[in-house]
Protein backbone atom coordinates (compact mmCIF):
# COMPACT_ATOMS: atom_id res chain seq x y z
CA UNK A 1 0.00 0.00 0.00
CA UNK A 2 1.38 3.41 -0.99
CA UNK A 3 0.33 6.59 0.74
CA UNK A 4 1.48 10.20 1.04
CA UNK A 5 1.23 12.57 3.95
CA UNK A 6 -0.65 15.63 2.72
CA UNK A 7 -0.62 17.95 5.74
CA UNK A 8 -0.80 18.05 9.51
CA UNK A 9 -4.35 17.26 10.60
CA UNK A 10 -4.04 18.29 14.25
CA UNK A 11 -1.71 18.64 17.19
CA UNK A 12 -2.72 17.94 20.81
CA UNK A 13 -1.37 20.11 23.61
CA UNK A 14 -1.92 19.07 27.25
CA UNK A 15 -2.97 22.07 29.36
CA UNK A 16 -2.82 22.82 33.07
CA UNK A 17 -5.27 25.73 32.60
CA UNK A 18 -7.58 24.85 29.71
CA UNK A 19 -9.62 28.08 29.78
CA UNK A 20 -6.52 30.28 29.73
CA UNK A 21 -5.09 28.32 26.81
CA UNK A 22 -8.37 28.46 24.86
CA UNK A 23 -8.45 32.22 25.39
CA UNK A 24 -4.83 32.61 24.19
CA UNK A 25 -5.31 30.56 21.02
CA UNK A 26 -8.66 32.27 20.28
CA UNK A 27 -7.74 35.91 21.03
CA UNK A 28 -4.03 36.05 20.25
CA UNK A 29 -3.79 33.59 17.36
CA UNK A 30 -7.31 34.01 15.99
CA UNK A 31 -8.19 30.31 16.16
CA UNK A 32 -11.95 29.91 16.63
CA UNK A 33 -13.33 27.12 18.77
CA UNK A 34 -14.46 24.38 16.40
CA UNK A 35 -15.70 21.78 18.86
CA UNK A 36 -15.91 21.59 22.64
CA UNK A 37 -16.09 18.30 24.49
CA UNK A 38 -15.69 19.53 28.05
CA UNK A 39 -16.93 16.20 29.41
CA UNK A 40 -13.68 14.63 28.24
CA UNK A 41 -11.57 17.79 28.75
CA UNK A 42 -11.04 18.62 25.07
CA UNK A 43 -11.43 21.86 23.09
CA UNK A 44 -10.60 21.79 19.39
CA UNK A 45 -9.49 25.05 17.78
CA UNK A 46 -9.52 25.68 14.02
CA UNK A 47 -6.08 26.71 12.66
CA UNK A 48 -6.53 27.16 8.92
CA UNK A 49 -7.00 23.68 7.45
CA UNK A 50 -5.77 22.05 10.65
CA UNK A 51 -6.81 21.75 14.29
CA UNK A 52 -5.07 22.54 17.56
CA UNK A 53 -6.57 20.31 20.24
CA UNK A 54 -6.26 21.55 23.81
CA UNK A 55 -6.56 18.77 26.39
CA UNK A 56 -6.98 19.38 30.12
CA UNK A 57 -4.52 17.58 32.39
CA UNK A 58 -6.33 14.89 34.35
CA UNK A 59 -9.24 14.76 31.90
CA UNK A 60 -10.90 11.50 30.93
CA UNK A 61 -8.73 11.00 27.82
CA UNK A 62 -5.51 12.49 29.25
CA UNK A 63 -2.38 10.33 29.32
CA UNK A 64 -0.03 11.59 32.07
CA UNK A 65 2.93 9.87 30.42
CA UNK A 66 2.59 12.35 27.51
CA UNK A 67 4.47 15.15 29.25
CA UNK A 68 4.32 17.80 31.93
CA UNK A 69 2.41 20.96 30.99
CA UNK A 70 3.83 24.27 32.08
CA UNK A 71 7.36 23.20 31.35
CA UNK A 72 6.94 23.38 27.56
CA UNK A 73 7.73 19.67 27.37
CA UNK A 74 4.67 18.35 25.53
CA UNK A 75 6.30 18.95 22.15
CA UNK A 76 9.22 20.91 20.75
CA UNK A 77 7.08 23.44 18.89
CA UNK A 78 4.03 23.96 16.73
CA UNK A 79 4.60 25.79 13.44
CA UNK A 80 1.77 27.62 11.69
CA UNK A 81 2.03 29.45 8.37
CA UNK A 82 0.78 33.05 8.52
CA UNK A 83 0.17 35.70 5.87
CA UNK A 84 1.05 38.44 5.78
CA UNK A 85 4.27 37.94 7.68
CA UNK A 86 5.51 41.22 9.11
CA UNK A 87 7.81 40.36 12.01
CA UNK A 88 7.53 43.76 13.71
CA UNK A 89 3.72 43.79 13.57
CA UNK A 90 3.48 40.16 14.72
CA UNK A 91 5.93 40.77 17.57
CA UNK A 92 3.99 43.86 18.73
CA UNK A 93 0.70 41.92 18.66
CA UNK A 94 2.16 39.04 20.65
CA UNK A 95 3.84 41.32 23.20
CA UNK A 96 0.57 43.23 23.66
CA UNK A 97 -0.97 39.93 24.79
CA UNK A 98 1.90 39.06 27.11
CA UNK A 99 3.49 36.37 24.96
CA UNK A 100 7.18 35.76 25.55
CA UNK A 101 9.01 36.30 22.26
CA UNK A 102 11.69 33.95 21.01
CA UNK A 103 14.11 34.08 18.15
CA UNK A 104 13.36 35.48 14.69
CA UNK A 105 15.24 33.84 11.80
CA UNK A 106 15.05 32.45 8.29
CA UNK A 107 14.19 28.76 8.66
CA UNK A 108 13.31 25.78 6.52
CA UNK A 109 9.70 24.54 6.52
CA UNK A 110 7.28 22.51 4.43
CA UNK A 111 7.48 24.95 1.51
CA UNK A 112 11.19 25.84 1.76
CA UNK A 113 13.17 28.56 3.50
CA UNK A 114 11.41 31.67 4.74
CA UNK A 115 11.01 34.03 7.66
CA UNK A 116 9.89 32.75 11.03
CA UNK A 117 9.30 34.00 14.55
CA UNK A 118 9.23 31.87 17.69
CA UNK A 119 7.09 32.73 20.73
CA UNK A 120 5.60 30.94 23.73
CA UNK A 121 2.02 30.32 24.83
CA UNK A 122 0.97 30.81 28.49
CA UNK A 123 2.13 27.30 29.45
CA UNK A 124 5.56 27.50 27.84
CA UNK A 125 4.89 25.70 24.56
CA UNK A 126 6.91 27.16 21.70
CA UNK A 127 5.01 28.24 18.61
CA UNK A 128 6.51 29.32 15.31
CA UNK A 129 4.87 31.77 12.93
CA UNK A 130 6.20 30.92 9.46
CA UNK A 131 5.97 33.34 6.57
CA UNK A 132 5.78 32.81 2.83
CA UNK A 133 8.78 30.86 1.54
CA UNK A 134 11.60 32.67 -0.25
CA UNK A 135 11.16 32.81 -4.00
pLDDT in tens, 20-38: 999 999 999 999 999 999 9
Does a structural domain hold residue 21? yes
Does a structural domain hold residue 95? yes
| Residues 78-89, mean pLDDT to the nearest whole number | 91
pTM value?
A: 0.76
Range of the domain at 36: 10-58+72-130
Does a structural domain hold residue 66? no
Does a structural domain hold residue 4? no
Q: Which residue has the higher pLDDT, 17 or 110?
A: 17
pLDDT in tens, 121-132: 998 888 999 898
pLDDT at 29: 94
d(CA 124, CA 100): 9
pLDDT at 61: 78
Q: Domain holding 17: CATH number? A: 3.10.180.10
Cis peptide before 84 (omega within 30 of 0): yes
DSSP 110: T
pLDDT at 36: 96
Q: In this structure, are strands 126-130 and 77-81 parallel, antiparallel, or unpaired?
A: parallel
Does a structural domain hold residue 86? yes
Residue 34 CB partners (closer than 8 Å, separation 6+): 44, 45, 46, 51
Does a structural domain hold residue 50? yes
Number of domains comprising the chain: 1
Does a structural domain hold residue 16? yes
| Residues 59-73, mean pLDDT to the nearest whole number | 67
d(CA 135, CA 3): 29
Does a structural domain hold residue 1? no
Amino acid sequence: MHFEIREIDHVVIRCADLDRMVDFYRVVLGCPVEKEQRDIGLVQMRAGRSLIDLLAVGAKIDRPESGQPGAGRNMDHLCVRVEPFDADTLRAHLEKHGARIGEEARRYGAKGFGPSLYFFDPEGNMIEFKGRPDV
